[in-house]
Amino acid sequence: MMKKKLEEIQMKPLGEAAITVQFGTEINSFINKKVKALATKLQHESFSGFIECTPAFASVTIFFDPFIVKQAYGKIGKSSFQIVQAILERMLETLVEEEESTPRIVDIPVCYGGDFGPDLDFVAGHNHLSTDEVIHLHASAEYPVYMIGFAPGFPYLGGLSEKINAPRRPSPRTSIPAGSVGIAGSQTGVYPISTPGGWQLIGRTPMALFRPDRDLPSLLSAGDIVKFVPITVEEFEQYQERVQ
Amino acid sequence: MIKMSDFQEMVNIIDRSSVNVFTFEYEGMKMKLEKQPVLQDKDQKQEFNVSMPNQPTSHEQTNEASKDEVISKDEVITSPMVGTFYARANEDEDPFVQAGDAVEKGQVVCIVEAMKLFNEVQADMDGEIVEVLVQDGDVVEYGQPLFKLKKRS
Amino acid sequence: MSVQIIRPGLLATIQDLGRYGFQQYGVVVGGAMDSFSLRFANVLVGNEEGEAAIEVTMMGTSLQFEEDTLISITGGNLNPVIDGSPVPLWRPVFVKKDAVLSFAGCKVGCRAYIAVAGGFSIPNVMNSKSTYIRGEIGGFKGRALKEGDVIPLAEENSFSMKAKRALQKKLKHNSFAAADWYVPFERYVNGKVVRVLKGAEFEEFSELAQKQFFEQEFQITPHSDRMGYRLSGPSLQLKRPFELLSEAVANGTIQVPSDGNPIVLLADRQTTGGYPRIGQIATVDLPIMAQMKPGDHIRFKEITLHEAEQLYIEREKEMKQIQTALLLKEWSFE
């Protein structure tokens, strides 16, 4: 049951207009399921002043308008943070995790190394491996999508082999091309749009992960399984031509 | 907080407008203004109820200035509304005008704040400021003289 | 009715209060950098406070009005002029047909907002008209405004029609007439000190870094844009290095990568981040941060959650008061 585990859940302010509910400090599907359950619940039973929520690996951050919260529930004589905290605590007590369904598997073609993956050598060197070994390890795993965040459609993936972990760059690059595939710590992901970022880049996909014209603007959703399929530069170019 | 002068100014505005009924609610405080339909007699007082909990009703501003001194209308600049008089745009700036300053028609001479809006008061003729009749931060009445002015001939 | 861009200047985009509800798909909130000024630009011309307006950055922007239009300019003072005459800020302004509004350069702050009565007639993308340049969505064709762009205006409202008539009567030889009243909020967007709540990872920083953060001055570097500002100053070090799980960030989150130079996340920030967060700017002081430009100096002052919330609520109350006052102004136009 959720209830007896409530004390393990932490709530902390992110400024005066947001609160983060933290279910744990590690990446695992047990915690991630709770994250998804709370985010889903908030979509269905929100409260006055609720703006939106951002689910992450092990947390859900709830954005609210303190003025509206205070107006709606202010008679309790508490701060808006305390009010939202109380509402969330009540929600957590009755949180039901969703039934397991068969996850969708999405193949993402990636051209590794070269100009597309300028940090492939660094990741290999850092782990005392050859670049081919890094590519093989990266492309042979199945990656569950834990969250979409950081940039439109950007998937945070679990399941990266410990053998190819690499620290973030000391300072983020000011611009990273769309489609870049990177590693940061024990995480791997794909940059859907050109943006600054601090991940170590090992390759690039020609596939569009952010589709603003669709109802669901993100190709991937939390719960999907991603598989990376190595392709050559020629295949990369052919794919791009086909899309255009 | 809403100030007493804000209410007075609201009443003035409603009075001059074509609005007949006005209800205002703010932080548990409620105000309703209702005008008599077609008032011919100007002396007849219009009714309005203002209830303000926890607020002393110190409503005793009399127009001392206009009583004490006989200043002909074209030699003063009067307040266009009820509000707070400010001689300067903000604390670290010089006053718009001081006694002895020459002013031109249309020049901003002070600000009257009503309901958080800053209203610029302009000189309506060329001339010289003889005296500033109110203090920075004073609550002023509608039509209250603010400056004595010597008309430039 | 429309507005034509004569020169885009450094950067001019269409912005509103941002794109909400899509952060779960990683879609950036965006919107006006100084949303306080945007809200006021709108209410001064009788619009809903969240209507889209033009965000002008620093200098060089110039635009022409096809018809008589009611506008307002708020935010930083970028020396706006209409056909050569300076235009006052924070008030409704009647602009004559064919008049040209230009911004000569920064006097105070670095972003101005131009609202037009009725707002701009452009499509919503994911519930917002905000331009998100990196994602190429929203605003005018998903991009910054360019020379020759003609942006259609939406239907006017009763406030603006009355205000226009009243101000038109005041029109003399100039090609504009400004109201003789304004909202005194320049002080809310100008400053050198920003109030900050301790961030979630504040205690993970060394005692020295904790002290330096609140006591020393930081400078806005040229690597600063709508997404965030990189600051230079004392290098803020952690007690010991650690990797964080990515988690949501907010407008005004101050994160510190391992090089020790803080980054302030702003309107076009990412939805989540993985760098330790040393602070979070109080919402009421976000306009001050957003009006800073490269080279400016800033200090952070600690504030409690309670104080930040009080300030937030007071500011919103003030907003409601002004809206009531403007309603009354509408009647006084009659």
| Binding partners of B (≥3 Cβ pairs within 8 A) | C
Instruction: Give pLDDT, residue A7.
Output: 56
Q: Which of A3-12, A177-186, C18-27 has the lowest mean pLDDT?
A: A3-12
Q: What is the pLDDT of residues C156-215, one digit of tens each?
A: 888 888 899 999 998 888 899 999 999 988 888 989 999 999 999 999 999 999 999 999
- Say if residues A228 and A140 touch (Cβ distance below 8 Å): no
- The average pLDDT across C270-281 equals 94
Question: CA-to-CA distance for A55 and A33, rounded, in angstroms?
Answer: 11
Together in a domain, A229 and A161: yes
Residue C277 has pLDDT above 50, yes or no: yes
Determine whether the interchain pair B26/C321 forms a contact, defined as Cβ–Cβ distance below 8 Å.
yes
> Shortest Cα distance from C66 to chain A (angstroms)?
32
Nearest residue of A to residue C284 by CA position? A16
What are C55's two structure tokens? Answer: 């965000």
Q: What is the pLDDT of residues C233-258, one digit of tens each?
A: 999 999 998 778 889 999 999 999 98
Determine whether the interchain pair C250/A168 forms a contact, defined as Cβ–Cβ distance below 8 Å.
no
Bridge pairing between strands C193-198 and C247-248: unpaired
Domain count, chain A: 2
Task: Provide, as residue numbers in chain B, all residues whose Cβ is less than 8 Å from the Cβ of C328.
Answer: 9-10, 13-14, 17, 115
Q: Is residue A99 situated within a structural domain?
A: no
Order across the sheet with B76-78: list the strands. Answer: B76-78, B145-151, B127-132, B102-103
| Domain spans, chain C | 2-188, 191-303
Residue B10 contacts C where some CB pair is shorter than 8 Å = yes
Bridge pairing between strands B108-114 and C62-65: unpaired
First-residue to last-residue Cα distance in chain C: 24
Helix (H, G, I), strand (E, B) or coil at C132: strand
Q: Give the percent of chain C with pLDDT over 70.
A: 99
Helix (H, G, I), strand (E, B) or coil at A90: helix
Q: Is residue A27 situated within a structural domain?
A: yes
- The average pLDDT across A167-174 equals 89
Residue C187 contacts B where some CB pair is shorter than 8 Å = yes
Nearest to C23 by CA among A55, A49, B119, B113: A55
Together in a domain, A68 and A112: no
Q: Which of A93, A120, A144 is the last residue of a domain?
A: A93
Q: Is residue A235 situated within a structural domain?
A: yes
In Å, how far from its chain's centre is CA B121? 10
Q: What is the pLDDT of residues B36-47, one digit of tens each?
A: 655 444 444 444
| CA-based radius of gyration for chain A | 20
Instruction: Give pLDDT, residue B36.
Output: 64
Could you tell me the pLDDT band of residue B58, with boundaries at 50, 70 and 90?
very low
Q: Is residue A100 situated within a structural domain?
A: no
Together in a domain, A223 and A140: yes
Could you tell me the pLDDT band of residue B71, with boundaries at 50, 70 and 90?
very low
Together in a domain, A148 and A221: yes
**ipTM value:** 0.94
What are C154's two structure tokens? Answer: 């939406």
Query: What amino acid occupies position B60?
Result: E
Determine whether the interchain pair C271/A54 forms a contact, defined as Cβ–Cβ distance below 8 Å.
yes
Instruction: Give the phi and the psi of residue C170 in degrees, each rounded to 5.
Output: -85, -10
Together in a domain, A178 and A224: yes
Helices A66-73, A80-93: inter-axial angle, 10-degree rounding: 70
Task: Provide, as residue numbers in chain C, all residues whose Cβ is less than 8 Å from the Cβ of A55.
Answer: 24
Residue A152 has pLDDT above 80, yes or no: yes
Could you tell me the pLDDT band of residue B27, with boundaries at 50, 70 and 90?
low
Which helix (H) or strand (E) is A39 found in, with range? helix A29-44
- Facing residue for A39 by CB, picked from C24, C270, C282: C24
CA-based angle C269:A244:A180, to the nearest 5?
A: 40
Residue with tokens 């985010």: A39
Q: What is the pLDDT of residues B101-149, one digit of tens each?
A: 999 998 999 999 998 899 999 998 899 999 999 999 999 999 999 999 9
Chain B to chain C, count of Cβ pairs less than 8 Å apart? Answer: 57
User: Cβ neighbours of residue A40 under 8 Å, at least 6 residues apart?
Assistant: A98
Together in a domain, A223 and A187: yes
Residue C182 contacts B where some CB pair is shorter than 8 Å = yes
Could you tell me the pLDDT band of residue B55, with boundaries at 50, 70 and 90?
very low
Q: What is the pLDDT of residues A41-66, one digit of tens each?
A: 998 889 999 999 999 989 999 999 99
- The DSSP 8-state label assigned to residue B74 in this structure reads G
Question: CA-to-CA distance for A226 and A218, rounded, in angstroms?
Answer: 14
CATH number at residue A155: 2.40.100.10
Helix and strand numbers (H, E) in chain A are 6, 13
Instruction: Give pLDDT, residue A100.
Output: 63
Nearest residue of C to residue A212 by CA position? C137
Nearest to C267 by CA among C140, C145, C131: C131
Determine whether the interchain pair C126/A216 forms a contact, defined as Cβ–Cβ distance below 8 Å.
no
Could you tell me the pLDDT band of residue B62, with boundaries at 50, 70 and 90?
very low
Together in a domain, A140 and A212: yes
Q: What is the pTM of this model?
A: 0.85
Q: What is the pLDDT of residues A26-46, one digit of tens each?
A: 888 788 888 989 998 998 889
Domain of residue A32 covers 3-93
Nearest residue of C to residue A194 by CA position? C134
DSSP output for B112-147? EEETTEEEEEE-SSSEEEEEE-S-TT-EE-TT-EEE
Q: For chain B, which domains are there?
A: 4-50 (no CATH), 68-151 (2.40.50.100)
Nearest residue of C to residue B117 by CA position? C183
Q: Which of A70, A93, A116 is the last residue of a domain?
A: A93
Question: CA-to-CA distance for B46 and A16, rounded, in angstroms?
Answer: 46
Nearest residue of C to residue A198 by CA position? C257
Question: CA-to-CA distance for A155 and A184, rounded, in angstroms?
Answer: 13
Together in a domain, A144 and A221: yes
Determine whether the interchain pair B115/C325 forms a contact, defined as Cβ–Cβ distance below 8 Å.
yes
Together in a domain, A186 and A230: yes
Question: CA-to-CA distance for C322 and C16, rounded, in angstroms?
Answer: 20
- The average pLDDT across A74-94 equals 89
Question: CA-to-CA distance for A197 and C269, rounded, in angstroms?
Answer: 11
Determine whether the interchain pair C321/B16 forms a contact, defined as Cβ–Cβ distance below 8 Å.
no
Instruction: Give pLDDT, residue A149.
Output: 85
Question: CA-to-CA distance for C32 and C53, rounded, in angstroms?
Answer: 9
> Which of C17, C19, C23, C278 to probe by mutation at the A interface, max A CB count within 10 Å?
C23
Residue C308 contacts A where some CB pair is shorter than 8 Å = yes
Chosen CATH of C191-303 out of 3.40.50.300, 2.40.100.10, 2.60.120.260, 3.40.640.10: 2.40.100.10
In Å, how far from its chain's centre is CA C103? 16
Nearest residue of B to residue C184 by CA position? B118
- The DSSP 8-state label assigned to residue A163 in this structure reads G
> Which of B116, B119, B122, B142 to probe by mutation at the C interface, max C CB count within 10 Å?
B116
- The average pLDDT across A221-236 equals 94
Instruction: Give pLDDT, residue A195.
Output: 83
Instruction: Give the phi and the psi of residue C312 in degrees, each rounded to 5.
Output: -60, -50
- Facing residue for A20 by CB, picked from C125, C227, C248: C248
Instruction: Give the phi and the psi of residue A122 in degrees, each rounded to 5.
Output: -60, -45
Question: CA-to-CA distance for A33 and A97, rounded, in angstroms?
Answer: 6
Which helix (H) or strand (E) is C150 found in, with range? strand C150-152
| CA-based radius of gyration for chain C | 20
Together in a domain, A9 and A69: yes
Instruction: Give pLDDT, residue C334.
Output: 57
Could you tell me the pLDDT band of residue A76, with boundaries at 50, 70 and 90?
low
First-residue to last-residue Cα distance in chain A: 51
Question: CA-to-CA distance for C14 and C293, rounded, in angstroms?
Answer: 20
Instruction: Give the phi and the psi of residue C119 in degrees, each rounded to 5.
Output: 85, -175
Residue B66 has pLDDT above 50, yes or no: no
User: Cβ neighbours of residue A156 under 8 Å, at least 6 residues apart?
Assistant: A56, A57, A145, A146, A147, A148, A149, A150, A187, A189, C246, C272
What are C184's two structure tokens? Answer: 């005194």
**Residue A239 or residue B34, greater confidence:** A239
- B106 conformational bin, left if phi > 0, alpha if psi -120 to 50, beta if neither: left
- The DSSP 8-state label assigned to residue C67 in this structure reads S
Q: What is the pLDDT of residues C53-101, one digit of tens each?
A: 999 999 999 999 999 999 999 999 999 999 999 999 999 999 999 999 9
Question: CA-to-CA distance for C276 and A182, rounded, in angstroms?
Answer: 20
Q: Which of A66, A93, A120 is the last residue of a domain?
A: A93
Could you tell me the pLDDT band of residue B74, with boundaries at 50, 70 and 90?
low
Question: CA-to-CA distance for A186 and A151, rounded, in angstroms?
Answer: 19
Q: Where are the alpha helices (DSSP H) in A45-191?
A: 66-73, 80-93, 120-126, 131-139
Q: What is the pLDDT of residues A187-209, one digit of tens each?
A: 899 999 888 888 999 999 999 99
Could you tell me the pLDDT band of residue A222, with boundaries at 50, 70 and 90?
confident
